[in-house]
């Protein structure tokens, strides 16, 4: 097997790619030949030691994979060699072969290519969890998506549109805004240049109903003020770095609500709820209600460059490593 190893928390350039012994399936488990491993923002934070959880080194980063079953252990039923599967693995995904418990496997629908499947679970589950479990987006409501060219942002556009909402997408580059329009956004804003609050209010005659915020940083204050009465602000992440402080009077005014979204913690507390959430998403994919964009692909050996590009905002949509 070939895999990425983090030997010490720190610079992304210190990651090494090395060969190791092929894993064997454990009882109740399988070995998956990984065709693509999703690259997520959190993977970089893990490697740099900037995440709240610090894994003991050495470890292989990578939290989601898709591929085909290469070998099956004792006591596994319902799966065959060659089946197309996807899985959230926590750590260990940046490899060409991974041993997994059969219980972790999710069948990939025929309509989903394996690289797209490898980039799907985290972003799309977060978007659907936010828009249907933390609040309930209504048909015809307006959703303002910040970081709309990123993984969570693109998934939020796709999911919100599928649920009948109108989407305003805010992103920093023409390429990211064009991708948002292609995914179904009704309007786009260059939030580096435009006054976010004023532009959203003009586009909506009074404000957005929901803000999806995976970015934080300098746009949070204006986005909160862009909410109309009974508006909901969904706090998803802080890709920009600094954690914004919000003026509570802006929550009181217009009866707004600020909601935390911690999809990862919820999946641990409610695995059954997570299974239902993912099954709902895959039904939406099979019906053609969702159109997850194909990710850009990079070879496993370019892991450091891929993570650096993501952290430096050069990626539109998702990236996967193809071992
Ligand atoms: N709460 C949850 O359950 C949950 C689940 C998944 C992810 N997250 C978090 O959500 C955040 C976004 O994840 P993602 O997968 O969408 O990441 P991503 O694909 O890298 O997108 C993040 C977007 O943030 C914007 N951004 C603004 N300033 C940035 C900066 N200084 N550095 C990097 N990006 C910056 C970029 O858009 P522009 O260039 O257009 O500004 C970028 O496209 C991360 O913090 C992640 O940990 C949280």
Q: How would DSSP label each residue in 99-142? A: EEEGGG-EEPPTTS-HHHHHTTHHHHHHHHIIIIIIS-PPTT-E
Residue 152 CA to ligand 1 centre (angstroms):
7
Mean pLDDT of the chain: 97
- Condensed to tens digits (0 to 9), the pLDDT of residues 105-120 reads 999 999 999 999 999 9
**CA 70 – CA 10 distance, rounded (Å):** 33
Instruction: Say yes or no: CB of residue 152 within 6 Å of ligand 1.
Output: yes
Is the confidence at residue 163, as pLDDT, over 90? yes
Q: Is the dihedral of CA 248, 253, 255, 256 positive or negative?
A: negative
At 213-249, the pLDDT tens digits run 999 999 999 999 999 999 999 999 999 999 999 999 9
- Cβ-contact 62, 4 below 8 angstroms: yes
pLDDT on residue 80: 98
| Ligand 1 nearest-atom number relative to CA 239 | 45
pLDDT of residue 1: 96
SS3 320: strand
Testing ligand 1's pocket by substitution, the residue of 215, 259, 307 carrying the most ligand atoms inside 8 A of its CB is 215
Range with the poorest average pLDDT among 37-41, 52-56, 127-131, 151-155? 52-56
Nearest CA to ligand 1 atom 9: 237
Among 239, 316, 320, name the best residue to mutate to test ligand 1's pocket (greatest count of ligand atoms within 8 A of Cβ): 239
pLDDT at 78: 97
d(CA 281, CA 131) in angstroms, rounded, equals: 12
Residues 6+ apart with CB under 8 A from 13: 304
Residue 214, ligand 1, Cβ within 6 A:
yes
Distance, in Å, from the CA atom of 185 to the CA atom of 255, rounded to the nearest integer, reads 26
Predicted pLDDT at 52: 86
- pLDDT at residue 146, rounded to an integer: 98
pLDDT at res. 205 = 85
267 lines ligand 1 (CB under 6 A): no
Does 176 sit in the ligand 1 pocket, CB within 6 Å? yes
Q: What percent of the chain is modeled with pLDDT above 90?
A: 98
**Ligand 1 geometric centre to CA of 215 (Å):** 5
The 10s digit of each residue's pLDDT in 19-64 is 999 999 999 999 999 999 999 999 999 999 999 889 999 999 999 9
Q: Return the best residue to mutate from 147, 310, 319, 320 for the ligand 1 pocket (most ligand atoms within 8 A of CB).
A: 147
DSSP state of 241: S
Both tokens of residue 235? Answer: 């706090």
**Minimum CA distance residue for ligand 1 atom 29:** 240
Any atom of ligand 1 within 6 Å of the Cβ of 293:
no
- Residues 45 and 138: their CA atoms lie apart, in Å, by 34
Residue 184, pLDDT > 90, answer yes
User: What is the CA(149)–ligand 1 centre distance, in A?
Assistant: 9
| β-strands 257-260, 296-299 pairing | unpaired
With cut-offs at 50, 70 and 90, classify the pLDDT of residue 256.
very high
- Cα–Cα distance, 241 to 239 (Å, whole number): 5
Residue with the two structure tokens 């993570």: 307
Contacts (Cβ under 8 Å, ≥6 apart) of 229? 207, 254, 255, 256
Percent of the chain with pLDDT over 70: 100
CB proximity list for 6: less than 8 A, separation 6 or greater = 14, 15, 46, 47, 55, 57, 58, 59, 60, 61
CA of 217 to the centre of ligand 1 (A): 11
pLDDT at 45: 94
3-state secondary structure of 269: helix
> Residue 249: its pLDDT value, please?
98
Tokens of 40: 């997520």
> Per residue in 273-314, pLDDT tens?
999 999 999 999 999 999 999 999 999 999 999 999 999 999
Tell me the Cα Rg of the chain.
20
Contacts of 136 (CB under 8 A, 6+ apart): none
Residue nearest to atom 18 of ligand 1 (CA): 150
Q: How many C-beta atoms lie closer than 10 Å to residue 135's C-beta?
A: 18
Q: Indicate which atom in ligand 1 lies nearest the CA of residue 311.
A: 33
């Amino acid at each position: 097997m070939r895999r990425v190893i983090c030997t010490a928390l720190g610079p992304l350039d210190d990651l090494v790619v090395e060969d190791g012994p092929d894993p064997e399936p454990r009882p109740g488990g399988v070995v998956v030949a990984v065709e693509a491993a999703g690259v997520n923002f959190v993977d970089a934070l893990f490697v740099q030691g900037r995440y709240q959880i610090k894994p003991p080194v050495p470890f292989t980063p990578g939290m989601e994979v898709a591929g085909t079953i290469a070998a099956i252990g004792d006591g596994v039923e319902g799966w065959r060699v060659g089946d197309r599967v996807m899985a959230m693995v926590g750590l260990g995904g940046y490899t060409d072969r991974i041993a997994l418990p059969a219980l972790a496997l999710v069948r990939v629908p025929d309509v989903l290519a394996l690289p797209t499947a490898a980039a799907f679970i985290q972003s799309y589950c977060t978007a659907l969890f936010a828009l249907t479990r933390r609040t309930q987006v209504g048909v015809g409501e307006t959703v303002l998506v910040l970081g709309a060219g990123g993984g969570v942002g693109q998934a939020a556009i796709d999911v919100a549109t599928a649920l009948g909402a109108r989407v305003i997408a805010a992103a920093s580059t023409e390429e990211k805004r064009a991708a948002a329009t292609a995914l179904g956004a009704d309007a786009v804003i260059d939030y580096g240049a435009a006054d976010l609050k004023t532009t959203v209010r003009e586009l909506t005659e009074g404000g957005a109903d929901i803000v999806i915020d995976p970015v934080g940083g300098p746009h949070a204050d204006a986005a909160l003020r862009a909410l109309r009465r009974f508006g909901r602000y969904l706090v998803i992440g802080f890709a920009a770095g600094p954690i914004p402080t919000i003026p509570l009077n802006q929550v009181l005014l217009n009866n707004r609500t600020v909601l935390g979204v911690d999809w990862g913690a919820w999946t641990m507390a409610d695995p059954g709820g997570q299974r239902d959430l993912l099954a709902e998403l895959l039904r939406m994919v099979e019906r053609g209600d969702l159109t997850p964009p194909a990710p850009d692909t990079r070879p496993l050996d370019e892991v450091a460059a891929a993570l650096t590009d993501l952290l430096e905002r050069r990626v539109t949509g998702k990236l996967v490593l193809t071992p």
